[in-house]
Structure 1
Amino acid sequence: MSPSPVSSTPILRTTLIWSGIVTGVLAVLAGVVGYLVAGTTGLWSGLAGVVIAAVFLAITGASILIANRWYGDDLYVPVFFGIVLGGWILKFVIFIVALLLLRGQPWIDPTVFFLSVVVSVLASLVVDVVVVTRMRVPHVSDVELPTDPDAGDASDKTIS
């Protein structure tokens, strides 16, 4: 597979990889802390909170990566925004389903669940900031400059 010409692709890939690693670490920590605080209910609440936050955060990055595959196509912009908007709608549907399924469940400790979601979102934001600040991307990366007129690409018409 050839490298993508879109400058956001390596940033998003790196963000998704590091977010996956951080999610694994947070899942272990949330499970252990949840178990120590609220027993098995806290364990499952911590794990559920981390997984739900990870899924929501990964959908956006993954949808942009998928949409970037159409870069250079005439329909790139409508396809890009259609896929990203579809990802947001998917997140909304998953959110509603998750709320309906998890509401009132006896195995959910609301405090542990809430704190694990908040910590996961904050950790993801830290990963995003660290990745974006450390990536070396030119300020004008996806712009193609016109060629030199003296190199033969200029119009043959001269202004008198």
Structure 2
Amino acid sequence: MPSSQPILLRALKWGVLASLALIVIFGVIGWFVSGSTGLVGGVLGAAFAGVFLALTAGSITFANRFIEKDFYVAAFFGIVMGAWLIKIVAFIVAAVLLRDQPWLNPTILFLGVVAGVIVSLVIDMIVLTRSRLPIVSDPRD
């Protein structure tokens, strides 16, 4: 495994924990703002952000399993770009399907997604700045 693998796993772990906390926080905020529709919007927004975070970090972590193979670069970029494509399609489908739903507060949903993205960026920044990664590349036999 590359030396960056523990950093990615740490970011994934903290991202999942933060996403669970955001689901609870935005569920409560949504409930107080607009009742059950706010609850659903807050939970879905924070959950979407958590799933998208997990897809990115998880795809990179999974792709690193092929580091010893000759096709590593192609597999890495194929897996990571495939995960990004899945995220884009899922976002568009979710936006179209949830656009006019009466059981959902779209403002709380949007705020939950934005908060999840900001929190995941902050977590990535903190994990990366506190990690010790060698300056030279991974050694080869």
Tell me the distance in 2 between the aligned counterparts of 1:9 and 1:39.
42
1:140 aligns with 2:136: yes
The equivalent residue for 1:151 is: none
- What do the CA deviations read for 1:55-91 (whole angstroms, capped 9, x no partner)? 1121111111111000021111111111111111111
Query: RCO greater where, 1 or 2, for CA within 8 Å and sep 6 or more?
Result: 2
Q: Is the CA contact (8 Å cut-off) linking 2:99 and 2:106 kept in structure 1?
A: no
1:96 to 62, 78, 92: 92
The equivalent residue for 2:113 is: 117
Greater gyration radius: 1
1:41 to 28, 37, 42: 37
Q: Aligned ranges for residues 1-160 of structure 1 at < 5 Å?
A: 4=1, 6-144=2-140
- What do the CA deviations read for 1:21-55 (whole angstroms, capped 9, x no partner)? 11111111100011001101100000000011111
TM-score by length of 1: 0.84
Aligned residues: 141
AA matched with 1:112: I
Consecutive unaligned residues in structure 2, runs of 5 or more: none
Tell me the distance in 2 between the aligned counterparts of 1:54 and 1:21.
9
Tell me the distance in 1 between the aligned counterparts of 2:65 and 2:101.
41
Tell me the CA shift for residue 131 of structure 1: 0.5
SS at match of 2:135: coil
Higher helix share: 2
AA matched with 2:82: G
The equivalent residue for 1:150 is: none
**Two-structure CA RMSD over aligned residues (Å):** 1.3
Tell me the distance in 2 between the aligned counterparts of 1:93 and 1:64.
19
